Amino acid sequence: MNALRSWLGKCHLVKENDEEEEPYKCCAGVWCRDRREFDLALRAFLTAQNLRLIWSEEVLPAGEWVHKHPTEKDAFELARMVHAANIVELGALSAIGQKATEGNQRYLLIEEIADVEPLDNQFGLLGDDKLTVPEILQEPLFGQPDPTEAEAVPFLNTFAILDAAKVTNLLTLLETSGLKFRCLFKGKAYDELKDVAPYIVELQDNNTFTRNLFTSAGMPANMWDKEPGIFVRSAGSLDDMWKHFRKFTRVQDENGKWFYFRFWEPLLFKYFCEAKGNNEQFIASFVPAGMVVAIDTVLNSIFLLQKTTTKEGGNFIFEDADGEIVRQYMIALNSRELAKKINSEEDAWSHTSGTTLHKCVEFIESAIKKSRDIGLDKKNHIDRFVVLCQKVGVGFVDDPKYVNIQKTLKSGFVPARLISELEYDVEDLLKELT
């Protein structure tokens, strides 16, 4: 368990009994172990002060926070003031000047843990000496809240929702894992799709199947690189979680059409929740009480998602505007896949130019967005456009001095012809530049 220490964060809050709900912001120092304890202690403190937390952000251990915000000396003083006998200190409140409405209030907290490396084969270690998950994830995935004198603290279970389409023979692996599990499909859908269906499984620490979910050592049983699904911490049972998530395997759009929704894709879950974090009904309906963990295995980032609303959820309708979230998710997904492919090549430009994988992904995302702006949607065309951007920069299609390229863009060519002509144009341009 992490040691108690000073944490700092920026907080947005309102005064209770304020009909206008004018929002305020301040910095807060909290004596705690992690982000979850920060919010719990802060909420309890604010309640006693007749204040209510809307959301907190940039919550970090004090040393990291001060390093990131070196000019905010008042926050450093807050960090020095908190200790075991004085758990919370608030900085000065300042009015934001905007009512906390449905449009700007956030109902979801997202914490990122960066640079998380998967487990290796752990040769030479036996039994309890082996890690089940990367050490930094032990507390988020298997830690238990400390008991309090005020109220009983429920035991938190750990679940995974896994995609059989990504894990070969997942059903067989689950049947021999010693873990409890259920398919989220039933009836005809289960009979027809059980080999590619989502399964919810209750994970146990020091279990071989659980360990393989977090291992990347080149063995067939390792699942980290397959991004098989999302993870959930909850006081609910396996049946409780099954009932909650089963509702979202098929969703209805505004026209009444039903379709399958692959919410267990880690990036998709994160993108949807992040984009709709100010929609209380959606967050209340979709995100279970507890915490959802989504892993970006390309960038080795972990996202911890917790809802802040206790409102009862309603029906989930897929809105027309949600299509844009899916499009942005697809761009992010394609960028990661292409960046991973490029980065695996020894003479890749990302290596020769010293570009980090994060920067490589950002560059490719920009290139993909630009390719779609000019009408290139097929994967093969997008990949070829990214190669052109590597050679002459993402902005080459907007530069008026490249006359031939501008002429090609205005020609009305079909996508296949357009990308071919652009390749010829860039080849000619590089000859001119050299």
Taking only the tens place, the pLDDT of each residue in 123-152 is 888 877 899 999 989 989 998 877 665 566
Taking only the tens place, the pLDDT of each residue in 84-103 is 888 999 998 887 654 444 44
Residue 216 predicted with pLDDT over 60: yes
As a whole number of angstroms, the distance between CA 397 and CA 251 comes to 39
Q: How many CB atoms lie within 10 A of CB 415?
A: 17
Look up residue 119 and give its two tokens. 């487990």
Question: What's the pLDDT at 114?
Answer: 83
Give the CA distances from residue 73 to residues 70, 79, 91, 171, in Å, rounded to whole numbers and listed in that order. 7, 10, 11, 55
27-52 average pLDDT score: 89
As a whole number of angstroms, the distance between CA 140 and CA 293 comes to 8
Output the CA torsion 402→406→407→411 (10° steps): 160
Segments making up each domain of the chain, as ranges: 5-95, 108-319, 330-433
67 vs 151, which has greater pLDDT?
67
The whole model's pTM is what? Answer: 0.72
Taking only the tens place, the pLDDT of each residue in 286-336 is 999 889 999 998 888 899 999 888 887 777 788 888 888 888 888 888 888
Taking only the tens place, the pLDDT of each residue in 376-423 is 989 899 999 999 998 888 889 998 999 999 999 999 999 999 999 999
Look up residue 6 and give its two tokens. 């000073």
